[in-house]
Amino acid sequence: MFARHAPAVARAVAVLTLTVVAVVSWSAPGGAAPGSTGAQRYIVVLDDSVGSPAAVARQQTLRLGALLGPVFSHALNGYVAELTPAAVDRLRADPRVTAVEPDTWVHISDQQVPTGVRRIFADDNPVLDIDSQDDVRVDVDVAVIDTGVTRHPDLNVVARADCSLGICLSGFGMDDNGHGTHVAGTIGALDNGVGVVGVAPGARIHSVKVCLATGSCLSSALVAGIDYVTARAGTIEMANMSLGGAGTSTAVANAITRSVNAGVVYAVAAGNDAADASGFFPANHPDVITVSALADSDGDPGGIGGNPACRPQSHDDALADFSNFGATVEVAAPGVCILSTWNDGGLNTLSGTSMATPHVTGAAAILAAGTGDPTNRADVLAIRQQIVAAGNLGWTDTSGDGLQEPLLDAHGLA
C-alpha cells in the first residue's frame, strides 16, 4: 500500500517503505525445516495454452515432491508451490511453464466535500449531483484490492473476499489496517449529508483483501485478488490497487493483462519513493492508469493556499515531495492530507499516491457506469484515454523528468 499518514492523526499506521523481500516458505515436504531443503515459495506461471492448470499443477508438484499451494485459472494460468532450487530449474525447462518467480512481499502505497474531490472539480459535475442528498448513486461496481473494507455507514459495500493467503474466501476479510476503507471512501462515499463524499458517490464496493494488518501483501495474494475480480468481470468494471513493490512480477503482470482483456479497468498507485515509477510494479504495467500524487492544501487551483498543514514539505498545487514520477505515469491526482472513511466508522486523514489513486478510480468509474460498462481490452483502454484526455496542466510538476502528466479533471465526465 502506498500511504503516508498526517502527523496530527492520532490513529496513525506506520508508513511502509516500498521494498520486496524473499519470502520464508511453508514447512517443507515431509515436515522438514525449510532450511534443510532449500525450499522456498514460488509462483509458477503456466502458458495460456494449458487447459487445466489445476491438473498440471498437481502433476508437476507430485513429480517433484513439492508442496502445492493455491491454483489460479481466471486472470492467470498458474499456481503457488514450495520448491527447491533443483525443482525450480526443472520447471523452468518445462515447455508448459513460462515463468517461475519467488513469491515476494509488496506493500500498501498508504460530510464535507474533501479538498481532493473539489480540486478535481467532481462536485461541479452535474451528473453526480453532489448536494448532501443521497438521491443519486453511481451505477458501477468497483473492487478495492487492498487491506479489506470495513462496514461503514458512509460506504456501499456489497461483497467481500479474503485473498490474503492466496485462496479467496468469499464473505470474509474485514479491514484490520484502515487503508482499504480510506481508499473506498474516496472512490464512493455516499452523498448523504454526513461524513465525506466520494468521487463516484454510492458506487458498489467489492472488498478484496490481499494485505495483512501490517499492510504487507504477498504477490501471490495479489494474483489471487486479481483472479477473483477477473472471474467476476461481468459485474465488476473497475479495480483500485493502491499498492506495489520494486521491480517486476511476471505473474502479477500477466494476471492484470488477462483481467484488462476481460474488461476490468485498473488504477494503480505510482509509489512514494520520489523515484521513477518504471521501477515499480504494478505501476509499470502498460495497461493500467498509473497515478502520481498532487499536493493540494485548499481544494482550489492556483497554488496560493500555502503548504498543506499535514505535510508542510510539500507545496500547494505541486507534485507531492514523496511521489514517484516518469513516463509510466498517466495522470496526477490529489494525494496529500486526504480526508476519508476509516475502519473505526469515523474519518481519518492520510497522504500518499494510495490516496491519489482512488480519485482516478472514482473518475474512471463514472465513465464505466451504466451503459459504459467495459467488456474487453479496447473498452478499457478507451476509458484510460478519456481520463488522460480530460485532464489539465494547471499545476506545477517539480519532478524534473520533463514529462508533466495531466491532472485529473472530473467536471465533464459522464
Which residue numbers are catalytic? 146, 179, 354
CA distance linking residue 353 with residue 323, whole number of Å = 6
Q: Which amino acid is at 163?
A: C
DSSP secondary structure code for residue 240 in this structure: E
CA distance linking residue 186 with residue 229, whole number of Å = 20
338-341: strand order across its sheet: 4-5, 347-351, 338-341
β-strands 243-246, 280-281 pairing = antiparallel
Beta bridge partners of 82: 41, 67
Which residues 6+ apart lie within 8 Å of 239 measured at CB? Answer: 142, 143, 144, 145, 208, 226, 229, 259, 264, 265, 266, 267, 361
Burial of 11 (0-12, 13-18, 19+ CB in 10 A): exposed
Q: Quick one: which H or E segment has residue 102?
A: strand 97-102
CA distance linking residue 218 with residue 163, whole number of Å = 10
- Torsion sign, CA atoms 398, 401, 402, 403: negative
Which residues 6+ apart lie within 8 Å of 202 measured at CB? Answer: 134, 136, 137, 138, 156, 188, 190, 191
What's the CA dihedral at 11, 224, 75, 229 to 10 degrees?
-50
